Structure 1
Amino acid sequence: MKQWIAWGILSIFAWKDFRAKELPFPWLLAAFLLGAVNFFFSDDGTFLSAIQCLLTGCLVLLLSRASREAIGSGDGWVLMDIGWFLGGAETFALFLCGLFLASVWSAVWLLSGKGGRKKSFAFVPFLWIAETGLLLGGGCL
């Protein structure tokens, strides 16, 4: 059930990110609080497992800071939001799958001549595609 909640959250954020290439912070915060409440009222709500749930998103937030927002901070927040529902290992696997899919898209985009070094695209839709694949049992693809 938690995986489907994460998929629903990703669906909303993927649509918003695709349309505007920006995620509204109040929505990110609301999803974060919803996940935290759900997590701490579940059976596995220990401090160590909470750190594991948030670790991938926190690392992306640090990369966002270090890259001066070349990587959007919203991506890190989304990973923290869904980390509450998926757990640390599954969130990291989802991030790697999304990164792989975005890399393939980037290569196609660059080779077609439509992309460039300063062009950007939304990352959350790739997380959504990866989660959809994982939920349907097909892996990343």
Structure 2
Amino acid sequence: MSPYFLPIGALILWLFYGVIESSIKDKKINFSVLKNKFTYLQGIILVILIGGLTYYEEPCIKLIFDSIVTFLLFALALVDIKEKVVSNKVIIMLAVVSVASVFVINKDNLINVGIAFLVISIVVFLLSKFTNEALGYGDAILLSILSLYYGLDGILMVLFLASLFVAIIGVFYLIKSFKNRKKEMPFVPFILVACILVNVLQ
């Protein structure tokens, strides 16, 4: 199967995900999300993101994993933007994919992955605790899970890029609205962008 089917598959999965999510909330089958133009706009953005991966990466199993991780991070980012929380359901799905990747695409790099998970978990949870959750526990869990997928070098690059983007946007907000210095910014969208860049560069 051509990897260029992945972006279209991502759009179909995104619409299916929307139906399932709204049906769970309403406790009955709900297709109203398919009438929402914003849902399709989100899907188009997802198609562009995954389409970029197919352009830069050779067709292989890693491309499929990258696309799944991007899909799940995209879902997490939207929830983080809307509700300022990290969805536990999506985190669990991402954890399953990341653990699977250890045995499929990272099986020759187990020591690096193990060190990455241990180091990143300790650092981000201590950072979250001693900064009064400036880095939320949900974000800390997400970064720990992603360390299983990216390994030490990859997750450090994700952390660096995400922090850099937050700093740049933070300065912009500070200049634009100096009185609102305590404005909270969702971190997951920056992690999403950083992960895509690392996927492309690796």
Query: Which residue is 2:19 aligned to?
Result: none
Query: Which residue is 1:107 aligned to?
Result: 171
Instruction: Tell me the TM-score normalised to structure 2 length.
Output: 0.59
Q: Partner of 2:72: helix, strand, or coil?
A: helix
Higher helix share: 2
Shift of 1:59: 1.4
Aligned length: 138
Residues 90-129 of structure 1 mapped to structure 2, 5 A cutoff = 90-113=154-177, 116-129=180-193
Distance 2:150 2:135 in 1: 22
The answer (yes or no) to whether the contact 1:54–1:79 under 8 Å persists in 2 is no
The answer (yes or no) to whether the contact 2:112–2:151 under 8 Å persists in 1 is no
Query: Which residue is 2:40 aligned to?
Result: none
The answer (yes or no) to whether the contact 1:56–1:80 under 8 Å persists in 2 is yes
Query: Which residue is 1:76 aligned to?
Result: 140
Q: What whole-Å deviation, never above 9, does each CA across 1:25-65 have from its counterpart, x for those lacking one?
A: 34323422442243146523635531314532441222111
Instruction: Tell me the TM-score normalised to structure 1 length.
Output: 0.80
Unaligned 5+ segments in structure 2 are: 1-61
Residues 22-41 of structure 1 mapped to structure 2, 5 A cutoff = 22-40=85-103
Shift of 1:116: 2.9
Distance 2:153 2:179 in 1: 32
The answer (yes or no) to whether the contact 1:57–1:78 under 8 Å persists in 2 is no
The answer (yes or no) to whether the contact 1:13–1:23 under 8 Å persists in 2 is yes
Q: Percent identity at matched positions? A: 21
Distance 2:97 2:196 in 1: 21
Shift of 1:122: 0.2
Shift of 1:135: 3.4
CA spacing shift, 1:80–1:9, aligned 2, 3 Å: farther
CA spacing shift, 1:117–1:82, aligned 2, 3 Å: same
Residues 32-51 of structure 1 mapped to structure 2, 5 A cutoff = 32-40=95-103, 42-44=106-108, 46-47=110-111, 49-51=113-115
**One-letter code aligned to 1:123:** F
Further displaced range: 95-104 or 78-87: 78-87
The answer (yes or no) to whether the contact 1:9–1:31 under 8 Å persists in 2 is yes
Query: Which residue is 1:16 aligned to?
Result: 79
CA spacing shift, 1:64–1:117, aligned 2, 3 Å: same
Q: Partner of 2:86: helix, strand, or coil?
A: coil
Larger radius of gyration: 2
